[in-house]
Amino acid sequence: MLGPLTYGDYPDEMKRIVGSRLPVFTEEESALVKGSSDFVGVIHYLAASVTSVTHVKSQRDPGFFTDMGISMKVIGNYTSFHYAIVPWAMEAVLEYIKESYGNPPVYILENGTPMKQNLQDTPRIEFLHAYIGAVLNSITNGSDTRGYFVWSFMDLYELLSGYEYSFGLYFVNFSDPHRKRTPKLSAHWYSAFLKDNTTFLGSQGIAQLQSNFSSPY
């Protein structure tokens, strides 16, 4: 998608693989779409390694995954209730965007990890600490990344998993008709970070925050 927005056309490799199923830009359309984006939005949760898969494409079953021609394997210890911490993958994405598409403005629209309902969500703090550090490293290395948003501010309904997983910095009691909200440990950590309070940064700081935090859960 970034190819047309940056260069006014699809990459040659994409044209070769998709062939006649790929729409062709007219000169007017190419000029209209080129440079038309205000920023690039990145949604990042997991890292995966890929290997090439050679197979005969079926004309009856063309599609995105067939066109990719790869198999993917998630990197690290991944479960439905906690994502692996692979911050170098975030840096790699931002570096790729910088080098391949002229270093456009970037906003991290979603980044976070699910957990079972628990106000003592130290693993989430460790996840956010690592990935925010990766974003800062990328900025230091020249990436025009301008914003970062944690997913999510509070527990909510997830499209594919409903209320089963908890992504929020705030616990929401969905059994309460008033939907009472309670800050988790990660909310206190993130608030301190946004206020430029370095007391709780690093493993010792996180441990100190945890020892100061009392939870009914």
Residue 30 lies in a domain: no
Q: How far is the C-alpha of 3 from the C-alpha of 117, rounded, in Å?
A: 41
Residue 106 lies in a domain: yes
Residue 24 lies in a domain: no
Residue 87 lies in a domain: yes
Residue 200 lies in a domain: yes
Q: How far is the C-alpha of 85 from the C-alpha of 131, rounded, in Å?
A: 8
What is the domain range of residue 76? 41-46+67-212
Full pLDDT tens readout for the chain, 217 residues:
899 999 999 999 999 988 888 999 999 999 999 999 999 999 999 999 999 887 655 555 667 778 888 888 999 888 877 899 999 999 999 999 999 999 999 999 999 999 887 899 999 999 999 999 999 999 999 999 999 999 999 999 988 788 888 999 999 999 999 999 999 999 999 999 998 877 777 777 777 887 777 655 4
Q: How far is the C-alpha of 191 from the C-alpha of 73, rounded, in Å?
A: 34
Q: Return the pLDDT at 79.
A: 80
Residue 9 lies in a domain: no
Phi, psi of 176 (to 5 degrees): -90, 125
Residue 58 lies in a domain: no
The domain total for the chain is 1
Q: How far is the C-alpha of 147 from the C-alpha of 22, rounded, in Å?
A: 33
Which residue, chain included where needed, has tokens 């929020």?
168
CATH number for the domain spanning 184: value is 3.20.20.80
pTM summary value:
0.87
